[in-house]
A and B are shown apart, each in its own frame.
Chain A
Amino acid sequence: MIHLSSFILCLTGFAALAFAMDRPQHDLFGRPLPAPATLALRVGGAVSLLGALGLLVSWQGWGLGLVMFSGHTSLGAGVVHGALIIRQRRAARSN
């Protein structure tokens, strides 16, 4: 359960960080988001990732917690990236 919550936090964290970047904003919204929205996404993403870290460390201690966090962040980032690629492909095909 804690694994799942941590993974979801990593996933949402990276999604927020991705939406805060120029290229995904251009691909998804066709224009850059307003600066405050970008900042909010960036902060929210970072908080989400830190939340996952806190959850895992408080559950398993620093040793195991950090190892698990590293795994969840790698997988989370990979899944977000994969989703962005699929989204991009769909958009390219429908055009």
Chain B
Amino acid sequence: MTTDQQARPDGRGLRQSMSDLHTWVGLLLGWVLYAMFLTGTVSYFKDELSQWMRPELPAQSGVPDQAVVAQRVADELVALVPGSPQWSLRLPDARNNSVYAFWRTAGAAPGQRGFGEGNFDPATGQTVSSRATLGGDFFYRFHFQFHYMPVVWGRWIAGVAAMFMLVAIVSGVITHKKIFVDFFTFRWGKGQRSWLDAHNALSVFGLPFHAMITYTGLVTLMALYMPWGQQAGIKTAADRQQLNAELSAFIQPGKPSGEKAPLASIEDMVRHAQERWGRDGVGRVTATHPGDAAARVAVARGDGGRVSMSPQYLEFEGTTGKLLAVHEGVGPAAETRGVLYALHLGRFSDLVTRWLYFLVSLAGTAMVGTGLVMWTVKRRQKLPDPARPHVGFHVVERLNIASIAGLSVAMAAFLWANRLLPETLAERANWEIHSFFIVWALTLLHGVLRPAKKAWVEQLWLAAALLALLPMLNAATTQRPFWRSLADGDWVFVGMDLMCWALAALHAVLALRTLRHQPKTRPARKTVNKPAGGAVLREG
């Protein structure tokens, strides 16, 4: 946003236009972007979150032999979904202690869900005996397709929001004329100026990340947003098959022969892949028409250590285990997409890089948050009567409360629901999600009913309390309290508890700063500013 307060005698310059564009593009979908940013940020730890949300599954001390596990779960699936035209397993790895399986159901009636999914225990091959939950995948899916609406609508909304974000980034860079001169500038206690400095710092330090993540986010769904090239170029079934092979190791079922024949050893096929990519290097096993003479099996490489999501897989004849093809490279266009896709998801990361992703993405969340709050800070000073702001101001202010402080409350409530909802509850996994949205709606109601400053403070305190007490709730409701996790070296649970406390502290600091802050209604430069009055959170 512009800092240029001087009137331009020669009309509106480019920078001023960009500033206006930045302000309004940022505001219009800012709340959606904030939610996308925050849920996306926590999704860098979605596998760890899933482990925490299934506390019945023991902590994984090492990655089990993927070949053995693949055979075990494949046997289970043959029994569980006989006649399925296709199933696919994500094998356990350093971050996943369960096997996620997805399958198509044979002969699903129109309007019926034609697929199923489940998590399996690597040790037994059986469906995991843990509470029903979507785990960290809820935040991950919400991040790009939201909820309570058709998936395609959600993805379109996410796409429009990402496009707005891209415009906001480019216009923001043009508006912020002194990127290098003001690189380390922060003017404390200067009201709007301080907010701008904070917004700038959060934006500029993570600029490569913010630009990359927004652009690559659009790339992940580009075939949905811009399908025309593909429609024009890919016309035959053979073309489509070739395209699919360039994009995904998720091989598609062809025609079954109708002749029954059991699958050959999946274990041997995975062994073959392990020789090529290392013991823990296999990601996924997909079978088409298992049990039919036309069965095919694809064993795909995992995502670890390579900045590309382009598929690498071995294709086997299902009934004999004969290696049919080795797919280890794709064309330059597909590889470009593969690299951009991988950059967005960051699944190649080691632990340190994952934390870097998380922290910079959190800065991006704060960038959107400070931008939203700044809209009100900037305008509050100019309100004719601050006690009775105009409707637009009122709406933005209240939406800010619910979408920033309220989202923290709702996300914490989701984790509370995971620990509190009875395991026998019907539709339990869905009720965890309903809890999230019910609480989020309540924060909006609270934000509308309470005076703005009180609403901010109360919700920030509530978020801090929910987060701070979550490890205690975990200790009371599971066999894995903090001290035991620490003694057992269960770093996923230890990390989760520590993270909750750290985030609780962050929310408490924000609550205190907001509480102490005295909003000014005069322009900042005309008032004397005490240090406490220069609180980071000038909202209220």
Contact = CB atoms under 8 A, between A and B. Distances in A.
Contacts of A81: 184, 186, 201, 205
A17 B208 CA distance: 19
How many B residues touch the partner, as a band? 20 to 34
Contact of B356 (A21, A24, A74): A74
Interface of A: 3, 17-18, 21, 23-24, 63-64, 67-68, 70-75, 77-78, 80-81, 84-85, 88-89, 92-93
Contacts of B209: 70-71, 74
A84 B363 CA distance: 18
A92 B531 contact: yes
B205 A78 contact: yes
26 contacts: A17-B183, A18-B183, A18-B184, A21-B184, A23-B184, A23-B185, A63-B308, A63-B339, A64-B348, A67-B307, A70-B209, A71-B209, A71-B359, A73-B208, A74-B356, A74-B360, A74-B363, A75-B359, A81-B205, A84-B184, A84-B186, A85-B186, A85-B188, A88-B186, A89-B188, A92-B188
B305 interface: yes
Nearest to A83: B184
B358 to A, nearest CB: 10
A80 B209 CA distance: 18
B257 interface: no
Contacts of A23: 184-185
A80 B188 CA distance: 16
A74 B307 contact: no
Contacts of A78: 201, 205, 363
A80 B349 CA distance: 25
Contacts of B183: 17-18, 21, 77
Contact of A63 (B184, B201, B307, B346): B307
Given A70-B209, A71-B359, A88-B186, 6 more contacts: A64-B353, A70-B208, A74-B360, A75-B356, A89-B188, A92-B188
Contacts of B308: 63
Given A81-B186, A89-B188, A92-B188, A74 B205 contact: yes
Contacts of B356: 68, 71-72, 74-75
Contacts of B346: 67
Contacts, number: 69
A29 to B, nearest CB: 15
Interface in B336-367: 339, 343, 346, 348-349, 352-353, 356-357, 359-360, 363
A78 B305 CA distance: 26
B206 interface: yes
A88 B534 CA distance: 14
A3 B353 CA distance: 9
Contact of B343 (A67, A84, A93): A67
Contacts of A77: 183, 205
A18 B180 CA distance: 10
B330 to A, nearest CB: 15
Contacts of A64: 305, 307, 348, 353
User: Closest 3 CB pairs between A and B?
Assistant: A71-B356, A63-B307, A3-B352
Nearest to A76: B205
B336 to A, nearest CB: 13
Contacts of A85: 186, 188
Contacts of B201: 78, 81
A64 B352 CA distance: 12
Nearest to A6: B352
Nearest to A72: B356
Nearest to B201: A81
Nearest to B339: A63
Contacts of A74: 205-206, 208-209, 356, 359-360, 363
A49 to B, nearest CB: 13
- Which one of A64, A74, A80 has the greatest number of beta carbons of chain B within 10 Å? A74
A63 B343 CA distance: 9
A76 B191 CA distance: 26
Contacts of A21: 181, 183-184
